[in-house]
Amino acid sequence: MAGMLTTVLGRLPLLPAGKTACCSIQRLDASIVLGVQQQRWKRIRQRKPRWMPIAPSKLFNIIEHKPADPDETKQLKRLYDLYRTEIKSLRHYFMKEHQLALEEADKFSAVSLEEVREHERLLEENEKENQASSPDERGEEQAGGREDG
């Protein structure tokens, strides 16, 4: 792993250190590029285990929620309904577009299947024609060969 990191770090692009390009140039942080994060120094917030009960001081703590404004609720519901309607119409549009694309692909595949069938039929017809005319040609070749010999 360390060998791979050194080889990758050597190829990291050089980027400006600050917002301006004229500042000192430094290598891009490897953790950003590689998606690696060092866990040893990362600070983790300590929490109470799930199996422990609620603290006695918080036991009768009643959380009061802000009362919802009816006008704001009505406005949010209207906006959400508009959003849902637009998303639904977009879904239907893309579904129809996809169906049309599938139908066109089926048409092209049906045309190509018809062409393949027609080609096979023509090949069979050609073979029959060749077999029908081949005894005459063989007879002439054999007769011509016998006359020379």
Average pLDDT, the chain: 77
How far apart CA 90 and CA 30 sit, in angstroms, is 41
Q: Is residue 115 part of a domain?
A: yes
> Number of structural domains, the chain?
1
- Tokens at 61, concatenated: 């703590």
pLDDT tens, residue by residue, 83-138: 999 999 999 999 999 999 988 887 777 778 888 899 999 999 999 999 988 766 55
Percent with pLDDT over 90 in the chain: 38
Q: Is residue 134 part of a domain?
A: yes
Q: Is residue 57 part of a domain?
A: no
Q: Is residue 133 part of a domain?
A: yes
Q: Is residue 56 part of a domain?
A: no
Q: Is residue 53 part of a domain?
A: no
Q: Is residue 62 part of a domain?
A: no
Q: Is residue 2 part of a domain?
A: no
